[in-house]
Structure 1
Amino acid sequence: MLRWNIEVTFQEVRRHLGVETQRQWSDLAIARTTPALMALFSLVCLIALQTLKGGILPLRHTAWYNKKQAMFSDVLAFVRRTLWAEKFLHNSALNADRVELSRKDMDALLDRLAAVP
């Protein structure tokens, strides 16, 4: 995650955060939006680093492709999943009005939702 080259970084920012597909009409609006999206990229990476605390980032695999290195999509899915788990699972056992899912089912649901581009 720390050693990505600049080209890969820009490719990932284009693909996952929408740089160069912005719908502003003025050059000034585009000049403000692009740095904000780059900052968002950095924040997502920093949140992942802080949350992992030296641990291993879980990589998403498919049947046809077994990744060796993390991509930004893996980092984004990890951060989404972490934030949603904190929000939705934190007090789930304390509220009797909620329908309870098993931890395994909730983990599977969060993994699927977090991986959606």
Structure 2
Amino acid sequence: MLWVFVHDVSGRHQDEYFYSTKPGFNVSDVIEAFVGRWHIEVTFEEMREHLGLETTRGRAQYTVLRVEPCLFLLHTQIAFWYSQLPECQSGMIHVCWRGKATITFSDAITSVRRHLWDVHLFQQPRIRTHFEKLPRPTRNAILDALALVT
């Protein structure tokens, strides 16, 4: 068994203790294994907050076994759809706060939601040419308001 003590000399972070029961692990392997979990933890937190992971109302084991994999698929699908959005799209929504440096899952799901509503709700009718679309500023205001509602 290997115990690792990490002390931040700057004092900004708390001291941490880690251990490993895996034979052959050295100190850097233990730290890397801990840091590598960060992406997994963030994914689960985003899924809990935005997709309702672990809130299944069903009590049967098979209900959970059906719903949870679908939510993981939905998380992956939203990330894929976000990566396929047009670069120059004006409807990209990025909520900013102090210290935020990158796009978050909430930005991605909001932008995908806005794009899908823009394409499917406000597309130009092909049959009725007399139908007038909403003016662009009104349309954008509606889409922005709807996309931010969770």
Query: In the superposition, relative to structure 1, how do residues 54 and 36 fare at CA in structure 2: closer, same or farther (>3 Å)?
Result: farther
Deviations 1:3-42 (A, max 9, x none): x811111000011111111101101110111011000000
RMSD over aligned Cα atoms: 2.4
Q: Which residue of structure 2 aligns with residue 9 of structure 1?
A: 43
Query: In the superposition, relative to structure 1, how do residues 97 and 52 fare at CA in structure 2: closer, same or farther (>3 Å)?
Result: closer
Q: Which residue of structure 2 aligns with residue 83 of structure 1?
A: 116
The one-letter code of the counterpart of 1:25 is: R
Please, which moves more after superposition, 88-97 or 25-34? 88-97
Query: In the superposition, relative to structure 1, how do residues 92 and 104 fare at CA in structure 2: closer, same or farther (>3 Å)?
Result: farther
- TM (normalized to structure 1)? 0.80
Q: Which runs of 5+ in 1 are unaligned?
A: none
Structure 1 residue 105 and structure 2 residue 138: aligned? yes
Q: Is the 8 A contact 2:78 2:112 kept in 1?
A: yes
Q: Which residue of structure 2 aligns with residue 36 of structure 1?
A: 70
SS in structure 2 of the partner of residue 5 of structure 1: helix
Query: In the superposition, relative to structure 1, how do residues 14 and 85 fare at CA in structure 2: closer, same or farther (>3 Å)?
Result: same
Structure 1 residue 48 and structure 2 residue 93: aligned? no
Structure 1 residue 59 and structure 2 residue 94: aligned? yes
Deviations 1:71-100 (A, max 9, x none): 1111011001111111123206964245x4
Greater per-residue strand proportion: 2
Among all aligned residue pairs of Structure 1 and Structure 2, give the percentage whose two residues are the same amino acid. 33
Q: Is the 8 A contact 2:114 2:144 kept in 1?
A: yes
Q: Which runs of 5+ in 2 are unaligned?
A: 1-37
Please, which moves more after superposition, 13-22 or 84-93? 84-93
SS in structure 1 of the partner of residue 85 of structure 2: helix
The one-letter code of the counterpart of 1:78 is: S
Q: 1:20 aligns with which of 42, 54, 68?
A: 54
- TM (normalized to structure 2)? 0.64
